[in-house]
Amino acid sequence: MAGRIVVVDYDAGNLRSVARAVERVAEAPVVSADPADIDRAEMVILPGVGAAADTMANLRSRNLVQPIADYIAAGRPFLGVCMGLQALFDWSEEGDGQECLGVIPGRIVRFPASELKVPHMGWNTVEWTRDHPFTEGIAPGSYFYFVHSFYPLLDQPALALGETEYGVRFPSVVARGNVVATQFHPEKSGDDGLRLYRNFITWARHGQPVPAGATR
């Protein structure tokens, strides 16, 4: 198991599509709900769609909250996707409010009422706010696929790696140390989305991005 990519299985709706995307750019990941697999992983990906309360309940029921927290605290490579980003924050106002993993300082809030439809669903641009190996080779203003009704507010704005405009300007990619996360779905975002997975895997293994077109 050592040296493997682990996709956390807590019944997330995009679990299989994330695993397939990882397999396309690197190798078949280990899809697992076993805390021991997280401890032995080379890198961990937390997918997710749906509600914060359901996500945290499913993680708790499988005894995954502390293993994920310990893995991240140890400085090991971690990628969150969509709800996997939101779960990293301190708290979400969804429903009656939900305490989350507390890895990224800030909270998750609902889009304000406006003429724009909620959920924010479809393609939108992301503007990079700083350089990072995770986004290497992807042009500013590239389009990615979003499906969400809530968005992150950072206590430390410098943790934003990419920003998107949808009625408000919000951080759609965050990065802190060994952790990167996207509010959009790279696995549904064509070649640029696959490039993000490839960059994450290469950054995790070698600390630098791979050339465009490379598969590993």
From the candidates 100, 120, 136, 187, which is the catalytic residue? 187
The predicted pLDDT at position 159 comes to 98
Q: Which residues of 125-142 are buried (b: 16+ CB within 10 A; e: fewer)?
A: ebebbeebbbbbbbeeeb
From the candidates 82, 94, 100, 148, which is the catalytic residue? 82
pLDDT-derived band at 207 (thresholds 50, 70, 90) equals confident
| Known catalytic membership, residue 82 | yes
CB 194 within 8 A of CB 186: yes
More confident site: 13 or 77: 77
| Known catalytic membership, residue 100 | no
Entry pTM? 0.93
List Cβ neighbours of 61 (8 Å cut-off, separation of 6 or more): none
Residue 39's nearest CA partner among 12, 9, 14, 64 is: 64
List Cβ neighbours of 212 (8 Å cut-off, separation of 6 or more): 137, 195
The predicted pLDDT at position 3 comes to 54
CB 170 within 8 A of CB 162: no
| Known catalytic membership, residue 187 | yes
Handedness of CA 97, 99, 100, 105 (dihedral sign): positive
pLDDT over 60 at 54, yes or no: yes
Predicted confidence (pLDDT) per residue in 94-108, tens digit: 988 999 999 999 999
CA-to-CA distance for 93 and 14, rounded, in angstroms? Answer: 22
From the candidates 23, 99, 185, 206, which is the catalytic residue? 185
Domains of the chain: 5-206 (3.40.50.880)
